[in-house]
Structure 1
Amino acid sequence: MKKYRKVFIFILIIAVGLFLNRELQWSSYLKDSNNLKTIISFVHDNYILAMFLYLVFTIIGSSILALPGVTFAVVASGLFGPWIGSFLCLIGATIGAVLSFVLSRYLLKDSIEELVKKNKRLYSIIFQVDSEKEMLILMITRILPIFPFNLQNFAYGITNISIVKYTIGTFLFMIPGIILFSIGTEGIINRGDRANMLFIAVLIVVLMVIIGVHLYKKYKMLTKKEHNER
């Protein structure tokens, strides 16, 4: 009974979000390309308020609505530029990730575990009893793009990692990916600086892949060593 009550609370939160979306027509407004100029003008005239609204959008979108992580970096870069946009996206995405973590740990633990089991790659690496490898695993899953961002956020809530360690690690290890998408967006939008921005984006991708693969190999070596010692 307790399990179903938690699921009901979560569904209620989603229902409220969908109801507000229907009543306020957020989706239809954003789909209309003619409104982009209005949005940009609003950002210029109400910069601080626009920042706040973007953070709310990112927090809700990355936790309750489970929108793709790249969405928030692209929107932030388009509205605030690559650097301020990256900072805002990092703050909003971190808060959203922590909110997902809390919802999973205290409301949806049983349901999330069944969902994570379907992603064998993530399930095999994320559930570790050795606390010494927690930050290494968190770094790998945040840097390598092969692990779904939203599913990670909920999955870590049912592991033994502390919320403090999870928050700090998430904040730090999301920086490369957020900067990558922000700069890439700027390169597409800004023709004058396109070559430089896209070059930096490609460079970041290469570095992320090299570092991610190196970390994953290190994780496999440590796991193999522990297995042999047993």
Structure 2
Amino acid sequence: MIDKLSKPNFSWEKLLKLILIGLLLLATIWITVSFPPDRVRNLIESAGAYGRLVYIALWVFLPIGFFPVPFLAFAGGMGYGLIEGSILTFVGAALNLTFMFFMSRYLFREGLQSFLYRKYPKSKEILAADRSRLNFVLALARLMPVIPYNIENYAFGLTDIPFWDYLWVSLVFILPGTFIYVNVGDKALEPGDSSFVISLVLLAVLVVGTTFLGKYLKQPKKDSVKKEENHEGRD
């Protein structure tokens, strides 16, 4: 009885997690306030020869605080052109989406999952979906720029998706958006040129096209509906 009373009612692991979460929240507020989009470009330009490393570092850390990542991609296109800007953006995004996934899975998952399961029981069907379903949803989310990139990184850390599935699906399906966003930044230096208009058209096609694709894929197939109706009729 004495041993039970003398045991602490908290673990050092939980305390460490709370401290890390608190520091993360403070860092998020600081990042959001201290790095408006116009300052990002100035910071990259002022870094000189180290600008590329600064750009990648900004990609790793700024999205944690829900910084709008399209502005980062635009800055990459303006500063380094389409090809090099796309490569640097891809590297930075790859590091960031990995970092944010592990943060979500090992810092937030346990607490948030229990909260969601308790308050919203149906969320368990989404977070604990099968592997192929999660891969499909992730691929669609990465293609659709209407879904915030930052939220995707945190959200999939809460699911049961294996890390390597998350990584390869993300890397493949962020490529179109990366290229198009960087292209807009590259062509924005000449707003009167036809190439800038084309870059905006491509961006619009990406947004509208993937939105319609998502709606189409969510619709139940006619064959499967007929099979279910026939099966119910036999019963």
> Which residue pairs with 1:7 in the alignment?
18
Structure 2: unaligned runs, 5 residues or longer: 1-9
> Which residue pairs with 1:161 in the alignment?
161
Deviations 1:35-60 (A, max 9, x none): 94x853643xx1xx221121111101
Alpha-carbon distance in 1 for matches of 2:89, 2:200: 17
Larger Rg: 2
Alpha-carbon distance in 2 for matches of 1:115, 1:87: 39
Residue 40 of structure 1 aligns with an amino acid whose one-letter code is E
> Which residue pairs with 2:188 in the alignment?
188
Residue 81 of structure 2 aligns with an amino acid whose one-letter code is G
Alpha-carbon distance in 1 for matches of 2:45, 2:92: 19
Pairs aligned (count) = 212
Deviations 1:77-115 (A, max 9, x none): 122112211211111112111111101111111455589
Q: Secondary structure at the match of 1:81?
A: helix
Percent identity reads 20
Alpha-carbon distance in 1 for matches of 2:142, 2:108: 22
Tell me, yes or no, if the aligned pair for 2:86 and 2:179 is still in contact at 8 Å: yes
> Which residue pairs with 2:63 in the alignment?
62
Alpha-carbon distance in 1 for matches of 2:124, 2:200: 30
Tell me, yes or no, if the aligned pair for 2:90 and 2:178 is still in contact at 8 Å: yes
> Which residue pairs with 1:109 in the alignment?
109
Alpha-carbon distance in 1 for matches of 2:211, 2:125: 14
Shift of 1:178: 1.8
Tell me, yes or no, if the aligned pair for 1:183 and 1:200 is still in contact at 8 Å: yes
- Equivalent runs, 1:99-138 vs 2, <5 Å: 99-113=99-113, 127=127, 129-138=129-138
> Which residue pairs with 2:150 in the alignment?
150
Tell me, yes or no, if the aligned pair for 2:135 and 2:169 is still in contact at 8 Å: yes
Shift of 1:137: 0.8
Aligned residues: CA RMSD: 3.8
Residue 201 of structure 2 aligns with an amino acid whose one-letter code is V
> Which residue pairs with 1:140 in the alignment?
140
Give me the TM-score of the superposition, normalised by structure 1. Answer: 0.73
Tell me, yes or no, if the aligned pair for 1:136 and 1:219 is still in contact at 8 Å: no
Tell me, yes or no, if the aligned pair for 1:116 and 1:151 is still in contact at 8 Å: no
Shift of 1:130: 2.4
Q: Secondary structure at the match of 2:180?
A: helix
Alpha-carbon distance in 2 for matches of 1:10, 1:99: 14
Alpha-carbon distance in 2 for matches of 1:106, 1:83: 35
Q: Secondary structure at the match of 1:107?
A: helix
Deviates further, 195-204 or 146-155: 195-204
Give me the TM-score of the superposition, normalised by structure 2. Answer: 0.72
